[in-house]
Amino acid sequence: MFQQHLDASGKTYSVHFRFALKASFWLLIAAITSFIHAILPNLFAFTSQRT
C-alpha cells in the first residue's frame, strides 16, 4: 500500500517527503495564525488569504 501511493503520485519517497513536509509547515502556519486571529481579530487579518 505504501508503494502504491508513491507510484500513483509519481514521486520518489524523498520528493514526496519534502512535498508533504512543506505542505504541513504552511498548513501549520495557517492554523496558528487563524487561531490567533480568532482571539485577536486585528492581528493576521488577511494572512489566510496569502497562505
pLDDT given at position 24:
97
Residue pLDDT tens, the chain, 51 long:
678 989 888 999 999 999 999 999 999 998 999 899 999 999 988 876 665
Q: In whole angstroms, give the CA distance from residue 42 to residue 29.
A: 17
Closest CA to 43 of 34, 30, 4, 12: 34
pLDDT given at position 2:
77
Whether the Cβ atoms of residue 35 and residue 43 lie closer than 8 Å to each other: no
pLDDT given at position 16:
94
Whether the Cβ atoms of residue 36 and residue 43 lie closer than 8 Å to each other: yes
pLDDT given at position 50:
64
pLDDT given at position 46:
81
